[in-house]
Amino acid sequence: MIPNDIHNEILKRIKAAEKEHNVKVLFAIESGSRAWGFASPNSDYDVRFIYVHPRDWYLTIDVEDKRDVIEYPIVDEIDINGWDIRKALKLLWKSNPGIVEWLQSPIVYVDDGIFASAARSLLPTIYSPKKGIYHYLSMAKTNYRGHLKEDIVPIKKYFYVLRPLLSIMWLEQNQKPAPIEFHKLREMLTDHAEVNHEIELLLERKKRSQEKEIAPAIPLLNKFIEEILAHYEEVQFTEPDKSRDISPLNQLFQQFLIV
Interval 156-198: pLDDT, tens:
999 999 999 999 999 999 999 999 999 999 999 999 999 999 9
The answer to whether the beta carbons of residues 201 and 191 sit under 8 Å apart is no
Give pLDDT < 70 ranges for the chain: 242, 258-259
- Quote the pLDDT of residue 259: 52
pLDDT at residue 203 in the model: 93
Q: What is the distance between the alpha carbons of residues 62 and 60, in angstroms, rounded to a whole number?
A: 5
What is the enclosing helix (H) or strand (E) of 26? Answer: strand 24-31
pTM comes to: 0.93
pLDDT of res. 257: 87
Question: Please, which residues have CB within 8 angstroms of residue 171's CB and are 6 or more apart in sequence?
Answer: 129, 132, 133, 136, 177, 178
Backbone angles phi, psi at 51, to 5 degrees: -135, 165
Give the per-residue pLDDT at 10. 98
The helix (H) or strand (E) run that includes residue 111 is strand 108-111
- Residue 240 pLDDT: 73
